Structure 1
Amino acid sequence: MPHLVILYTATLDRPADQGGADMTALCRALADAMVEQRDETGKAVFPVGGVRVLAYPAAHHAVSDGGAAGRAAGGDGVYDFVYLNLRMARGRSAAVHRQVGEALTTCARSHFAPLLATRHIGITLQVDEGAEVFDAKTSTLHPLFQPPAGTTPKA
């Protein structure tokens, strides 16, 4: 944990010159934004080895009125949607929740700025903090980010 899952209309998988977006670049930018987050004491909000950003195109979707209002407004009637859901473990302050949400929203808006200026697209970010009923983890990633014994961890 934390895991950020992105669901999006598959029309965004087109090349940028055809109205699409580089979703791999978005995933990297969001992961970097998550790694950069610090709490009120300056400690990393998320363990680097736990950060995951996964994006899935929806092969089938229906958005809003199907494009009628977009066509009436002079557009092509194609609507896109991006839903980002960050799930994190409990224990962070409300201020950290807000800070992380704002950082991820800013990152997503920046990434989609060209499309927001020319297309009909909706972007939603939801941050969930959950009480786990079962939580098992197996990872050989975390040791990569632990400092050797007797050294000071990187910030």
Structure 2
Amino acid sequence: MTLDSKKYIKYGLVLLLSIGLILFTQELKLLKNPKSTPITVETFYGLASLWVFSMIGIFVSDLFKKVKVKAIRDFPILGWVSITSLVFCLLSDFFVNVIQAVDFLAITTPILTFAGISVANRLTDLRKTSWKVAIVAVFVFSGTYIGSALLAQLGLLVTGR
């Protein structure tokens, strides 16, 4: 087994864990709110499609690492996965329909967890940055929170609730 195949197996297993967490989260949401997105055969097809799109995006990213154009070589994996998903969804409505069977909030929970873990792994890099970044972060987080709260309040006022 080569180093590349081990890397792809590792990525595939991490993505499979993600798919399992998405399914688990959707089931918990369904138990909490029976009117939410039900788990059907299409849900499994949608999760399989997301897994395949992710793996294709990883392969494409590795293929383009050998290109001499820096912008293409440094393009992030997430971008290649997004482009792959977009192309397949434009080619066939099947993919759009089966991905719609996967609850959006069930997808975001594991993704945000993995994002948090990846940021936590880079805390040593964060320590090397200036303390001024912390001040900027506080203002950005506060502004985002206040802006979201104001928009939500406006939405409630417009709908009369």
- Per the normalisation by structure 1, the TM-score is 0.35
Higher relative contact order, structure no. (Cα contacts within 8 Å, ≥ 6 residues apart): 1
TM-score (norm 2): 0.34
Structure with the larger helix share: 2
